[in-house]
Amino acid sequence: MTSNHTTSRPIGIFDSGIGGLTVAKALVAHLPKENIIYFGDTAHMPYGDKSTAAIQAYAVKIAQMLLQQECKLILIACYSATAAAYELVKEYIGNRAIVVNVVDPVVHLLKGNYAAKRIGLIGTRQTVNSNIFKRKVDSLKLDINLSAYSTNLLASAIEEFGNHLVIDSLLDVYLAHPSLQEIDALILACTHYPIIKERILLHYQQSQQKTIDIIDSSDIVAQTVKMQLDENLLLNDQGTSNKHFYVSDYTDSFARNAKLFFGETIHLEHYPLWD
């Protein structure tokens, strides 16, 4: 295998649905020459409600499929899957590909910028109940006061409506929770949420009369991927980028939202991983 062939191997990205496209979009901006395979496990969306064991089974099977496609790096572009299955996927992949998750880059950001701050976090039930952030943040010993609250319906609502006005009613209910008041920053611990980032920002501006930092991991995760590829001499800086977008269940609403969000160039295919 020539080194050129090695660097042109694709980056595999997966999520339960369109959420991971927020990360894929940032990745394309940072790494325009990379080949990309995106897999949205729409047949099992939402992941947030599934058991840890179920998400682990989905994630390993998807990782196996991405390995078969010769991916050099697998990006788990989903907090719920990271919380439930990152360690397992990493063990399964071994040294056959690099595995990157969406949690560690955020923890790294907190470490450098948010000592002694009060931070809110919203995510799925799986992500919040796993306590993955709390464990990692507490181990930094930086006196960061983290309160996590599950906004479980949001991802499905975004999948259904995209960035629509109707989302504001859900935000009014969820973000009014006492644990999310008087915070310096809010972590969007679900890759669907950057799609409605402006609404969240506006909600806090109106309800607290102040601007808080909204921590959206897309860019820092893309930078982490770039760094990892660079360190492993796997950066692809030649040729044109090929992008394949697969879903385990093809629905019109998914296709519509994915196109709206990522641009008209998206070509979605059904990949029968569970048939």
**Nearer Cβ to ligand DGL (97/122):** 122
**Nearer Cβ to ligand DGL (191/248):** 191
Burial of 23 (0-12, 13-18, 19+ CB in 10 A): buried
Of 137, 190, 195, 247, catalytic: 190
Contact residues: ligand DGL, CB under 6 A:
15-17, 19, 45-48, 78-80, 124, 127, 155, 190-192
**Nearer Cβ to ligand DGL (11/45):** 45
71 classed as catalytic: no
Smallest distance, Å, CB 44 to ligand DGL? 8
Cα 51 versus chain centre, distance:
18
Smallest distance, Å, CB 155 to ligand DGL? 4
Smallest distance, Å, CB 18 to ligand DGL? 8
Strand 213-215 versus strand 185-189 pairing type: parallel
Helix, strand or coil, per DSSP, at residue 115? coil
- Distance from C-alpha of 232 to C-alpha of 216, rounded to nearest angstrom: 26
| Strands of 192-249, DSSP E | 213-215, 243-247
Of 45, 55, 78, 93, catalytic: 78
Yes or no: say if 22 and 191 are a contact pair by the CB < 8 Å rule: yes
**Nearer Cβ to ligand DGL (80/224):** 80
Residue positions annotated with a catalytic role: 78, 190
